[in-house]
Amino acid sequence: MTYKLPTSEEIKSIDLSWKRYLIPKIHKEGVKILVWMAVFFLVLGLLWDGVWYIGLPLLCFSYYFFRNPERHSPQGDGLILAPADGIVSNIKEMVPPKALGLGSDKLIRISIFMSVFSVHVNRAPVTGRVTHLEYVPGKFVSVADKDSEDNEHQLIGMTAANGQKIGFVQIAGLVARRIYCPLKIGDQLKAGDVFGMIRFGSRLDVFLPKGVVPKILLGQVAVAGETVLAEMKEGKK
């Protein structure tokens, strides 16, 4: 894979100020929730003066939780990027769910666990087209160290630009109560594009194409849209 040096305009466009760290952008789903929370506490404040001792910290944490920080994705058709922030909690071989359209052979699955302090915005791991979607309602139990097939989850299958197929799964956790994924079959995504989010503590699994070897280690911290999980061989289908 070749590397192109950034232009002076691209360098200037990168925000290095304190605002990037202390006042990050937030996901549109978070905006709606923050507005409802603010209205609720304003109304409640008319009845109880001390409500802001509780309301203000909750609003600040919610703003922090729904943050959607600026990310710059590495370029390369064969790169598979982390779709979520968090710790790589498991790397194992297993047969992928049928709904992903990846066949019946065992594939390497990389699991990324998101705590309530992680960024919960999810980003596309590859450039390509959405080919499979299936939402499965279920329970809400811990997803840190188990397969959690019974949990609420959203399955997403994609065909990458080089023709290889990849699948990933949003899994709701112990505190999570909603998976947000507005994707439709046929949608085109670029690697690093925001495609959804999971609220409050959850996990995201990635099934690598057959023969692709992980470039990430168990226990490593992944950054959505920036950390390289693996690299596909060019032209391999």
Predicted pLDDT at 4: 65
Please identify which residue in the block is written with the tokens 């596909």. 232
Predicted pLDDT at 159: 96
Q: Model-level pTM?
A: 0.83
Average pLDDT of the chain?
Answer: 85
In sequence order, the β-bridge partners of residue 194 are 123
Predicted pLDDT at 55: 84
Give the single-character DSSP code of 222. E
pLDDT for 113-164, tens place per residue?
988 888 889 999 999 999 999 998 876 555 545 555 667 889 999 999 999 9
- Among 89, 111, 148, 202, the active-site one is 202
pLDDT for 156-206, tens place per residue?
999 999 999 999 999 986 655 578 899 999 999 999 999 998 876 688 999
Q: Residue 224: which of 82, 112, 52 has the closest Cα?
A: 82
148 as an active site residue: the answer is: no
Tokens of 159: 């065909």
CA-only gyration radius of the chain, Å: 19
In sequence order, the β-bridge partners of residue 14 are none
